[in-house]
Amino acid sequence: MQLTRITAIRHGETEWNAARRVQGHTDIGLSAAGREQAARVARALAGGERIAAIYSSDLARAFETAAAIGAAVGVAVQPEPGLRERNFGRAEGLTFDEFSRRWPEDAERWRKRDPHWSSDGGESLQQLWERITGVAHRLGAQHLGQHIVVVTHGGVLDALYRAATGLGLQDARTWQLGNCAINRLLWTPDSGLSLIGWADDGHLEQSAADDRFPDPPPEPDRWAAPWNRAWQTLGLPAPAALLPRLLACYAEPRRHYHTAQHLGECLTHLERVWAQAERPGEIALALWFHDAIYDVHAPDNEAQSAAWARRALQEAGVPDDVAERVHALVMATRHDAPPQGGDARLLVDIDLAILGAAPERFAEYEQQIRAEYAHVPAAVFNARRRALLADFLARQPLYLTPHFHAELEAQARANLQTALARLGDFPVHHGTGGLAAGLTGLSNKAMLAAADE
């Protein structure tokens, strides 16, 4: 099968990026930090696969980034106006807060990703989608059998990601769009775009800043009731300063699945089985902390999260035996041993409830996990992912408590079979250390702990 390999790069940082101002078609040049990012991504690409052509948006911030790459690899840059950022009309030059104060109804439609809304004089998401997919089809067809680089903008990369994964224009974004991160796609005449790797920023001095505009972090007020209830069951006031710290962790830009969405789903499941738990408040606090520390390159996320939970509870006046039980519950989410006790079994089933979600949510979850491991080559990821999902499917039963077994077991097995069929047959590489734990355990977090070995 003939295909085109596409490396897509977002331009380096600008002063307006740092100030979170809408740029759109406004022609802003790179900042000093952005020029350094451009130099680093250029060096990274110079040591890789041969590049047949470089295409760039004709806006200065993208073209300057592309010029650095072109100089490093010896390929002239071709300007492509079709790769420009979305035209944001009268919003350009403003922050989202400034725009919201002036035009609150427009801001709400923008926040909800209305595909047909555009700022006065600007471009809608639907128009952007049609423009970008058209350019991708044209360049892909023109360079079959070759590797090309496109240097463009955050909105364009968002459209490319959605085209490659099948996500809709109104689906919330959970993937990163970092300045000068490396994103890899394939294009074929039959299938169009597909995702190979996303948001690889290992060549940068620090992780690429992700433009989350206009997606806000989780609001503390939304979470106050479940947070307070957990502490009330222990007979203690909830530490006010701890809630925003936890929410900030779940809002980290490198996360895609292990976010406030997952936390909220877990807490909702707990509400349904609250009366079945021996100590429901302890389960709730374990859920709040179970993904508080999350780094795909680290093998000890659960241990660090559990240690933070124990320390925070003790500082809040929780008895040591309660803090130790919460610590043990968080450690149970490693899924490397059968959970001990009814509360631990409930907690583990809640953490794995995503496997039995509706097919649409399960498909989103699979995409979110792939995005978290976008730096891992597709063949490696698919092999390890297949081994993990096959291990889930082989477990009898998958869910250990009557409620979750009755509610989710059948759907989980159907979801797993669908995912395995999509992944196909891939050889499993038997590595060492964290990889072995990932292949035999139940933890998505451990699955690729040795991905960089």
Helix runs in 189-241, H state only: 220-232
**178: which DSSP letter?**
B
Adjacent-strand bridge partners of 10? 152
- Assess whether the previous peptide bond of 214 is cis (omega < 30° from 0): yes
Radius of gyration of the CA atoms of the chain, in A: 23
On the CB side of 88, how many CA atoms lie within 13 Å of its CA?
24
CA proximity to 294, closest of 244, 259, 331: 259
Annotated active-site positions, please?
11, 85
Amino acid identity at 438: G
CA 439 from chain center: how many Å?
Answer: 22
Helix (H) or strand (E) holding 259: none
Looking at the DSSP bridge assignments, the partners of residue 147 are: 5
Q: How many other β-carbons are positioned within 10 Å of the β-carbon of residue 54?
A: 22
Identify the DSSP state of 407.
H
d(CA 421, CA 381): 15
